[in-house]
Amino acid sequence: MKVQFSIRKIGLFGKLGEDRKMGLDIGRLLYGIRTKYQISVNDICRGICGVSTYCLYENDEMIPDILSVNIFLDRMGFGILGLTAYISEKEVVYFKWKESTRACIRNENYKKLGMLLEHMPTGNVSLNKKIREQYAWFIKGIVAEKDTADLKKATECYEKALECTCGFLIKSQKIEGTFSVREIHIYAIYLNLLCKVNPKEKEEVISRFYQLMQYVNVHYVEEQQKVKIYPLLVCLWGNLVIEGKDTEGSFEIFEKTLELLRKQKSLYCLLEIMRLHILVGLKEKRDMSKEQEDIKILQSFFEEFGYRAQSQIYVPQSNEIMLEHVGQYLSTERKKVNFTQEKISDGICSVESYSRIENGRKPTRNNYKALTEKIGTENRYYIELVNTGNIDALLLRREISYELFMEKNERLPELLEELKTVLGEKEVAKNRQYLEFFQVSIEENTGRKTWNQCCDMFRNILSYTMNEKEIGKKRHVYTMLEINLIDHISVCMAKDGKSEEAMHLIKAFLDDMDFMKTEKYYETFLAKLNYARWRSDRGNFDEAECIYREGIEQRIRRNKTELLDEYIGEYAYNKYLKNNINEKQDVKRYLLYALVLSRMYGTQRVYKTILQFLKKINEED
């Protein structure tokens, strides 16, 4: 009798029946960062949870909720970009509500913000209560300050927000301990308001802002973390300093902040920092003509796309953790192996309990492990491109991603070998998919393999975790690495003369993303950019224009510049292909936007391409 296994083939994650808790070992990671940078447990968990509870997290006896993970890593100065969390539907509802509040603040719609506050989701017992309460008080403060102009009430709300996790900041003379980006942000808004209410406090507030700037410089080990708050502090500090006579040293601070923004591809407080940089430069009799020209172009760009620079100081940093619904993940994986709800839950929990998990409830740790083992899939809580608890390996992975994005190929082979050494044999096997993806990416970038060869290799690597035929069937929960692989497969196809096949692949993938209502940020934006290019090449200019414009607006909303210059350049080129004489000036304007941004943030390749196109347009006139 032939034995048929409905479970997927053994690939990356070992033998069936093992505990395959895929992803970051959060406990090991927390311990690794804390010990590497000699941070005390008391400082990390103060105001968030008890020491004993935190120790359970580090010892992998409990899994911390997403808000707690965020603030723990935040307080250690370690960013979470690239992390995916598998959470319950109720938690998803909370984060969607939170994103709505960000949109209201960004658009200065404070009345709607007040209404959203009245409908804050409450049934999220698995999310840290103190952190949720802190955010609610912060929103109340913004409404009081910006909508009703009740500055006294706003001050009280900001104080209550700080008291939720770090009330001692208000009274302490020194800034000691560990603080998250959110806590420093609330405190900065509080100090700024304090100066408005009582101008006599100005010198003390300036001193306090400078202390905060020094704290972030020293304690935030990663620049991707520093850029989330340092530009805001410099902006608020600079606006106070510029009013006085003594601006010594401020020009260099503004210049270094702009360099930080460039390196980290961030738009956060960009216009305000540029404005202060120019004002101090002119005060010191420097030639700022080029900077004045750039800020004029960027102001026009931001105004055209609805970016309100003044409101940005109040907007909380966007959530950089990718969110997946754990119930949806279990449902899609269950259906792939043709298990009914009765079959998967048998011997683990009641059918009713399992049904509630698929419909939004978070499973217990033991049940989740048992359910995933039964259908032979990964036990996912938090996953990264490199799944490890080794802090040095993760720092290396981020350096690799940056070098790859900036097309700096020289050090990549060396970095790959270093990463393998740091990971060790066991974790190299666990992260085989990423390491092979990275190796082929080097081959692709350096032209050592043909496009067809690279495409075949990427397809093989993708097969470790999914069947390519699943793309477009709206039943797969993609990892970031799988999305990267699909992007590369489609590009290789197009370069190999198979544009139609590449376009169909990306369209099927994007349909899945729309169906799952999942936004994977940078990875999805790359897929959309390529799809819009192909639609434009086939004369579907209106469809391409919508995708380009949506992409530009989304990048701005997230204060990110990755691919922004390319989106704007393609937007201009798409208008040019329409051959509409009335849009000629629009094409030039968008190319100027792209040129300034690519010079500040982009790669030389993109800058040269845009510059050549602009010269061609000018010659045609």
- pLDDT tens for 503-561 read 999 999 999 888 766 555 556 888 899 999 999 999 999 999 999 999 999 889 888 89
For the segment 296-304, the average pLDDT, to the nearest whole number, is 94
- Are residues 502 and 400 part of one domain? yes
- Are residues 489 and 347 part of one domain? no
- Are residues 543 and 524 part of one domain? yes
Short-list 591, 588, 574, CA closest to 538:
574
CA dist 402 and 400 (Å) reads 5
Tokens representing 94 are 């909370």
The residues pairing with 324 across neighbouring beta strands, listed in sequence order, are: 86
Predicted TM-score (pTM) of this structure: 0.88
Contacts 24+ apart (CB under 8 A), 399-405: 400/438, 401/82, 404/438, 404/441, 404/445, 405/562
- Are residues 614 and 531 part of one domain? yes
The CATH number for 614's domain is: 1.25.40.10
Short-list 229, 117, 227, 121, CA closest to 179:
229
Give 256's contacts (C-beta < 8 A, 6+ positions apart): none
Q: Is the pLDDT of residue 380 over 90?
A: no
Give 562's contacts (C-beta < 8 A, 6+ positions apart): 265, 405, 522, 525, 555
- Are residues 460 and 504 part of one domain? yes
- pLDDT tens for 89-110 read 888 888 889 989 999 999 899 9
Q: Is the pLDDT of residue 325 over 60?
A: yes
Q: Quick check: 75 and 67 in contact, CB under 8 A?
A: no
Which range is least confidently modeled, 145-159, 317-331, 488-502, 561-575? Answer: 317-331
What single-letter DSSP state applies at residue 266?
B
Q: Is residue 196 part of a domain?
A: no
- Are residues 471 and 372 part of one domain? no
Q: Is residue 407 part of a domain?
A: yes
More confident residue, 378 or 164: 164
Q: Is the pLDDT of residue 17 over 50?
A: no
Residue that terminates a domain, selected from 383, 408, 431: 383
- Split into its structural domains, the chain has a count of 2
Q: Is residue 464 part of a domain?
A: yes
Write out the H or E segment, with its range, that includes residue 302.
Answer: helix 289-304
- Are residues 366 and 406 part of one domain? no
- Are residues 579 and 455 part of one domain? yes
- pLDDT tens for 35-49 read 988 999 999 999 999
- Quickly list DSSP for 274-292: HHHHHHHHHHTT---HHHH
Domain hosting 327: range is: 26-60+79-84+319-383
pLDDT in the model for residue 21: 44
Q: Is residue 405 part of a domain?
A: yes
Q: Is residue 109 part of a domain?
A: no
pLDDT in the model for residue 82: 67
Residue 2 pLDDT grade (very low, low, confident, very high; cuts 50, 70, 90): very low
What single-letter DSSP state applies at residue 606?
H
- Are residues 530 and 416 part of one domain? yes
pLDDT in the model for residue 391: 85
Residue that terminates a domain, selected from 361, 383, 405: 383
- Are residues 405 and 457 part of one domain? yes
Residue 8 pLDDT grade (very low, low, confident, very high; cuts 50, 70, 90): very low
- Are residues 600 and 476 part of one domain? yes
pLDDT in the model for residue 533: 92
- Are residues 554 and 511 part of one domain? yes
Averaged pLDDT of the chain: 87
CA dist 416 and 23 (Å) reads 20
Q: Is residue 259 part of a domain?
A: no
For the segment 354-383, the average pLDDT, to the nearest whole number, is 82
